[in-house]
Amino acid sequence: MLKRDSSASTSNVNAVVTVNRESFIYALIAIIPGMMMVMLNSTAMNVAIPSLTQDFQVSFEILQWVINGYLLAMAVTVPLSGWFSDRIGAGRAYLMTVMLFIIGSLLCSLAQNSGQLIAFRIIQGLGGGMIQPIGMAMIFRLAPPDKKGQIMGMLGIPMLIAPATGPILSGWLLEATGWQWIFLINLPIGALAVWLGLSHLCKHDYLQKTHNKQQSFDRLGVMLAPTAFVLLTLSINQLSSNTWGSIMMGGTGALLLIWLCIHELRHENPILELRAFRAYRFRRGMIVSSIQYAALNGSIVFIPLFLQNYRSYSPFDAGLIMSMLAITSGLLMPVGGKVYDRFGIRPLACSGMGTIAVALLLLSWINEITNHLLIAGIVGLLGIGMGLCMMSLNTYILQSAPASMISRITPLTAAGANLIIPVAIACLSNFLAMRTFSHTVNEYKYNPVAAEMAAYSDTFLLTACIALGGAFFSLLLKPLKDKK
């Protein structure tokens, strides 16, 4: 019923795994709820930030650490996910991280001030950081080799139910009950994920531990990776308020990052498998994926802020608008998976990044009288671009890497995303502040609202240019069928 490829070493975590259809479906059903829970929470927070700034009487610059602190906490644990799943088994590791996320969610709901909320979000991020890469690695390993694109695309449908409902649910909860329920809603979903995991993940040999006790643990890598990521992000966030301190932190972070790269390339069992970058398809795929994260995720956080602060949208109305992003991307992901299996990555990455660029350009043109249906359509167009290229790029990257590195590649790609997104948010926040100051001084001395709206337009225009650059660079992606 369940078997391993006899040609693969049983001590290798990435041994080829063959399971029957029923077992594969049960594994998917067990893995998906936990991954959905993380996505639900992430999108819900984007809509909640404006309300939280009012409830806690703090600025956006402080409250953005509810997002950035969470992402940086994920960056701390993501590198550990491959080693952790090897050590105790992927199924058990997945359940333990889900339970840590549930504990963090409960603590967040009990927070009394912004400082506590940020601290508890960090605890939540420590669990959330490993849920996605462990879950993705399990699904990728179990999927049939000739159906990986379709399965990863189909995975996008349930995975985007959470982002689609997250903003709407967040807006409704903020108006009907309170922000605490944004975190409490994770408890029943997490409990379901634990129950399903105990039933379908922990009892099978294909997800048991494969760690070789003689392998050395990369302690230095575990310390260097999160420290470098945190210092780099902190330096960008403090650039406007503490220039010299920011330069010192940024320089230290850069040096630690260089040290990390040298160390990981030399270590026998690195936490981050940087040797995968020697494969030029993997390297180019990671560059395009990074551009996508910077342009798309870096700008998404500003859309609900703009709608609530300058268009007077309620949290629920802003959530409805933002749900279009997930709805349209969810509809396109299965299509993208089938196109990927047949035609490869290049048409999907180029058209997807180009669509994102067009949508961000249109967002830069909206003003105080733009119809709400048009705004929803633009956000939906952004989701179409996301649906075409996001999961396809992830599949291309995983298939471009050596098969023996899969359990360490998903932490590497997740760590990259968790570094790029907060850095992109921090950079765009600084850009927004600088453009606001410039417009206030030069054009709108007596109209600060108009100055900030113009600054938002500049910010969306900048991200459109970034996405357009990614579309052109994606033309350099090579098809996998030529891989030797």
| Model confidence pLDDT, tens digit, residues 313-348 | 887 888 888 888 878 887 887 777 778 878 888 888
Cβ 172 vs Cβ 316: under 8 Å:
yes
Does 287 share its domain with 399? yes
CA distances from 173 to 31, 36, 165 (A): 26, 18, 12
Does 264 share its domain with 277? no
Q: What pLDDT shows up at residue 406?
A: 66
Residues β-bridged to residue 3: 18
pLDDT band of residue 36 (cuts 50, 70, 90) is confident
3-state secondary structure of 18: strand
What is the rounded CA–CA span in Å between residue 100 and residue 120? 11
Look at residue 42 and tell me if it is in a domain.
yes
Q: What pLDDT shows up at residue 10?
A: 33
Cβ 169 vs Cβ 315: under 8 Å:
no
Q: Report the run of H or E that residue 17 belongs to, with start and end.
A: strand 17-19
Look at residue 422 and tell me if it is in a domain.
yes
pLDDT band of residue 361 (cuts 50, 70, 90) is very high
Residue 245 CB coordination number (10 Å): 13
Cβ 274 vs Cβ 282: under 8 Å:
no
Look at residue 111 and tell me if it is in a domain.
yes
Look at residue 291 and tell me if it is in a domain.
yes
Is it the case that residue 14 has pLDDT exceeding 90?
Answer: no
Q: Over the Cα atoms of the chain, what is R_g?
A: 22
Q: Given the structure tokens 């990074």, which residue do they identify?
A: 290
Total domains, the chain: 2
Does 165 share its domain with 252? no
Does 242 share its domain with 155? no
Does 49 share its domain with 192? yes
Q: Given the structure tokens 């910077």, which residue do they identify?
A: 294
449 or 350: whose pLDDT is higher? Answer: 350
Q: Report the run of H or E that residue 2 belongs to, with start and end.
A: strand 2-4
Is it the case that residue 4 has pLDDT exceeding 90?
Answer: no
Look at residue 367 and tell me if it is in a domain.
yes
Phi-psi label, residue 57: left if phi above 0, alpha if psi -120 to 50, beta otherwise: left
The share of the chain scoring above pLDDT 70, in percent, equals 84
Look at residue 213 and tell me if it is in a domain.
no
Residues 6+ apart with CB under 8 A from 188: none
Cβ 346 vs Cβ 475: under 8 Å:
yes
pLDDT band of residue 407 (cuts 50, 70, 90) is low
Does 326 share its domain with 447? yes
What is the rounded CA–CA span in Å between residue 164 and residue 308? 19
What is the rounded CA–CA span in Å between residue 358 and residue 379? 11
Q: What pLDDT shows up at residue 12?
A: 38
What is the rounded CA–CA span in Å between residue 83 and residue 138? 14
Look at residue 246 and tell me if it is in a domain.
yes
Look at residue 2 and tell me if it is in a domain.
no
Mean pLDDT of all residues in the chain? 79
3-state secondary structure of 313: coil
- What are the tens digits of pLDDT across the range 247-296? 888 889 889 989 988 988 888 778 777 888 888 888 899 999 999 988 88
Cβ 108 vs Cβ 121: under 8 Å:
yes
What is the rounded CA–CA span in Å between residue 270 and residue 333? 33
- What are the tens digits of pLDDT across the range 51-85? 788 788 887 777 777 877 887 787 777 777 777 77
Does 251 share its domain with 187? no
Tokens for 23, please give them: 């077992």
What is the rounded CA–CA span in Å between residue 360 and residue 300? 10
Tokens for 448, please give them: 């600060």
Residue 346 CB coordination number (10 Å): 15
Cβ 375 vs Cβ 321: under 8 Å:
yes
The CATH number that applies at residue 451 is 1.20.1250.20
3-state secondary structure of 112: coil
- Across residues 197-221, what is the average pLDDT? 65
What is the rounded CA–CA span in Å between residue 453 and residue 434? 13
Question: Which residues form the domain of 86?
Answer: 15-208+269-482
CA distances from 94 to 88, 211, 306, 433 (A): 10, 16, 37, 40
For 149-158, 221-230, 254-263, 435-444, which range has the lowest pLDDT when averaged over its residues?
Answer: 149-158
Indicate the pTM of the whole model: 0.71
Is it the case that residue 20 has pLDDT exceeding 70?
Answer: no
Does 251 share its domain with 344? no
158 or 274: whose pLDDT is higher? Answer: 274
Does 259 share its domain with 153? no
Cβ 185 vs Cβ 62: under 8 Å:
no
Does 341 share its domain with 467? yes
Amino acid at 410: T
Does 225 share its domain with 136? no
The C-alpha angle with vertex 468 and arms to 363 and 341, in degrees rounded to 5, equals 110
Residues 6+ apart with CB under 8 A from 368: 310, 311, 453
Q: What pLDDT shows up at residue 379?
A: 92
Cβ 218 vs Cβ 269: under 8 Å:
yes
Residues 6+ apart with CB under 8 A from 57: none
Cβ 412 vs Cβ 264: under 8 Å:
no
Tokens for 254, please give them: 């850069």
170 or 145: whose pLDDT is higher? Answer: 170
Q: What pLDDT shows up at residue 220?
A: 85
Does 181 share its domain with 69? yes
